């Protein structure tokens, strides 16, 4: 029987934003602020060369051109600065949501029946939940959901805006760009389905890899590894697991 996803992408996005609004409201509004700032920044980057060329062709004095150029470049610099600052603040406030989810996960884990904890299904689910909350610098899978959705909204709005401008030149350019976007979406969907299909297998392999890494770096068994010459065997086992994880 084919496994079906319990929650759709829309369900997951709604869950993240609802909890973000509940536990990290400031982060939610900062994320909304990033969208118009990013669109403005991209528009100014496109408008800058167009403005310079149009002014030169029109014969406007170079001093006035430089003034306009300086104003636009300053606007680009300020928008970049605001975007970077807003992203940093957004991550800082979003950590509240990640900490809240980590607290809920720990609370759930200590309240679950012992027999359920020992089951393979529960351990796999718990491992996936932990990975969703693991932070790598300023990013973790939980934050990437809201950030990716904000980027999607920004790109859709920007695409509609730029498509309207491009249509004035040649509508076929918009058709080609739209077709290539759907082709990219198609192959992305294939990869996501493949990733979901093999998720359970990768979870088990990841646990074995982490166990192997932890034990091989444990000082308590370092002597046994040297005495019995287990270093080559451990290295071979690690490479075998990594190959399985890459398939």
Give 9-27 pLDDT, tens digit per residue. Answer: 788 888 888 888 888 889 8
Yes or no: say if 128 and 121 are a contact pair by the CB < 8 Å rule.
Answer: no
Q: What is the pLDDT of residue 1?
A: 39
Predicted TM-score (pTM) of the model is 0.65
H helix intervals, 112-140: 114-117, 120-133
- Contacts of residue 82, defined as CB under 8 A and 6 or more positions apart, other chains included, come to 37
pLDDT for res 6: 63
pLDDT < 50 positions in the chain: 1-2, 4
Residue 56 Cα distances to 46, 53, 60, 67, angstroms: 17, 5, 6, 13
- Phi and psi based region of residue 229 (left: phi greater than 0; alpha: psi -120 to 50; beta: remaining): left
Kindly report the average pLDDT of the chain as a whole number. Answer: 82
Report pLDDT digits (tens) over 165-205: 777 777 888 888 888 888 988 888 888 787 777 776 777 77
């Amino acid at each position: 029987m084919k496994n079906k996803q319990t929650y759709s992408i829309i369900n997951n996005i709604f869950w993240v934003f609802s909890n973000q609004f509940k536990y990290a409201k400031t982060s939610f509004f900062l994320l909304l602020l990033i969208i118009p700032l990013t669109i403005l920044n991209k528009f100014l980057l496109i408008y800058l060369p167009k403005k310079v060329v149009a002014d030169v062709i029109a014969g406007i004095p170079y001093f006035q051109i430089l003034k306009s150029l300086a104003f636009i470049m300053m606007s680009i610099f300020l928008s970049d600065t605001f975007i970077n600052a807003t992203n940093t603040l957004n991550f800082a406030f979003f950590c509240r949501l990640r900490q809240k989810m980590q607290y809920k996960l720990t609370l759930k884990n200590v309240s679950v029946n012992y027999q359920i904890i020992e089951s393979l299904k529960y351990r796999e689910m718990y491992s996936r939940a932990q990975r969703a909350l693991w932070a790598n610098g300023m990013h973790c899978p939980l934050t990437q959901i809201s950030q990716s959705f904000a980027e999607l909204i920004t790109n859709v709005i920007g695409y509609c805006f730029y498509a309207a401008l491009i249509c004035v030149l040649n509508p076929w350019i918009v058709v080609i760009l739209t077709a290539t976007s759907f082709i990219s979406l198609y192959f992305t969907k294939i990869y996501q389905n493949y990733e979901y299909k093999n998720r359970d297998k990768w979870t088990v392999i990841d646990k074995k890899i982490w166990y192997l890494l932890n034990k091989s770096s444990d000082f308590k068994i370092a002597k046994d590894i040297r005495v019995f010459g287990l270093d080559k065997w451990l290295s071979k086992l690690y490479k075998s697991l990594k190959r399985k994880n890459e398939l």
